[in-house]
Amino acid sequence: MSKYIDIAVNLIGSALEKNIDDVIQDAAAQGVSPLIVIGSELHESEQAITCCQQYPKQLYCTAGVHPHHASEWQAKSSEQLKRLTAQPQVVAVGECGLDYNRDFSPRPMQRKAFEAQLALAAELKMPVLMHERDAHEDFLAILKEYRSSLPGALLHCFTGNRQSMQAYLALDLHLGITGWVCDERRGQELAELVIEIPDNRILIETDSPYLLPRSMRPKPKSSKNKPQYLPYISAYIADLRGQSHEKFAQRVYENSVAFFGLNKRHAVEVELSEPHETS
C-alpha cells in the first residue's frame, strides 16, 4: 500500500473534531498517516498541539493566524506564537496569508499579521504554510521580502491561474493541491496547470472537511471530506500528469516528509519518550 501525508486537515473546530479517533484510524487504514492539523488562530493552535500530544507520530500541526483572524493580531501575538512553535508537534508557522475574497479582517491588518508571521518564521528558521485568495499582488510583494530567509514556503490549496503559479514557482514555493482539481465546474484550469508543477514542488491535501472531490464514485454519503480520501485525490492527479499512481504517491510523500522535517521530528519524539540515565 502506498503511503500518504495529508498536509492540511482542519481537525479542530470543525465537523471532524467529535470523531477524531475514527478520522485518524480510517485515514491510517488507507495509508494516510500522519496528518498535519491546521492552526488558524492562537487558541486553536494551542488546542491542535494538545490534540497532537494525544496522538504522537499520527498527528503534527501548524501554529499561526489565518487572515480571517488577522484582526485578533496584537503586539503580544508574536511572542505567544513563538512559544507555541517551540512545541515539537509544530512543524510550520501558519496558516497565514491574505484573503481579499471575504475580507473577514481589514486588509491592512491582514498584511500586518502576515508580515509578522513571516518575520517570525524567518527568525526561527521554520517553514510556513500559507493561504492566498484574490490577493496575489500584495501576497507576492510581502512574501518576496522574506522568502530568502525561509527554509520552506508552501501555498496550500492552490487554485490560482498560470501567471500566479509561475510567479510562485519562481519563488521556489511548494504548491498544495486539493480535491478542487476533481471538480469539473471549478477545477478545469487547475487540472491543466497541475501537469506543469515540478515533481519536487507538489504536495497533496484534502483541506478536510471541505472540498470533497466531486468526481468520487460512489459518492460518499456524507458531504464532509476526510483524510481517508487523499489516495483518490492522489490517483486523480497522477492520471492528469501521466504518472503511475505508486510513483506519484511516493514522490509527494517524500516531498511532505522533507518539507515539514518529519524525520527530524520523529527522532526528537523518540528521544523525549526514552528514559534518560542519571548519574
Residue 279 has pLDDT above 80, yes or no: no
Q: Is residue 95 marked as binding?
A: yes
Distance of alpha carbon 24 from alpha carbon 58, whole angstroms: 7
Distance of alpha carbon 4 from alpha carbon 35, whole angstroms: 9
- 275 versus 182: which is more confidently predicted? 182
Q: Is residue 207 marked as binding?
A: yes
Q: Which of 59-68, 79-88, 167-176, 262-271 has the lowest mean pLDDT?
A: 262-271
Q: Is residue 276 marked as binding?
A: no
Residue 9 has pLDDT above 70, yes or no: yes
Mean pLDDT within 69-86: 97
* pLDDT at 272 (0 to 100): 46
Distance of alpha carbon 8 from alpha carbon 157, whole angstroms: 9
Per-residue pLDDT tens digits for 164-194: 999 999 999 999 999 999 999 999 999 999 9
Residue 222: pLDDT band with limits 50, 70, 90: confident
Distance of alpha carbon 187 from alpha carbon 240, whole angstroms: 12
Residue 277 has pLDDT above 80, yes or no: no
CB-count exposure of residue 263 (10 Å: 0-12, 13-18, 19+):
exposed
* pLDDT at 269 (0 to 100): 52
Mean pLDDT within 25-50: 98
CB-count exposure of residue 184 (10 Å: 0-12, 13-18, 19+):
exposed
Beta strands in 65-151 (DSSP E): 90-99, 128-133
Return the H-helix or E-strand segment holding 46: helix 42-54
User: Coil, helix or strand for 152?
Assistant: coil
Per-residue pLDDT tens digits for 11-22: 999 999 999 999
Question: DSSP per residue over 68-92, as a string?
Answer: GGGGG--TTHHHHHHHHHTSTTEEE
Domains of the chain: 19-31+58-270 (3.20.20.140)
High-pLDDT (> 90) share of the chain, %: 92
- 210 versus 276: which is more confidently predicted? 210
* pLDDT at 263 (0 to 100): 86
88-117 in b/e burial notation, b at 16+ Cβ within 10 A? bbbbbbbbbbbbbeeeebeeeebbbbbebb
* pLDDT at 20 (0 to 100): 96
Residue 275 has pLDDT above 60, yes or no: no
Asked whether the beta carbons of 32 and 252 are under 8 A apart, the reply is no
Per-residue pLDDT tens digits for 225-274: 999 999 999 999 999 999 999 999 999 999 999 999 998 765 555 444 44
Mean pLDDT within 199-211: 97
Residue 219 corresponds to which cell in the numbers above?
Answer: 459518492
Q: Is residue 134 marked as binding?
A: no
Q: What is the DSSP letter of 277?
A: P
Per-residue pLDDT tens digits for 136-161: 999 999 999 999 999 999 999 999 99
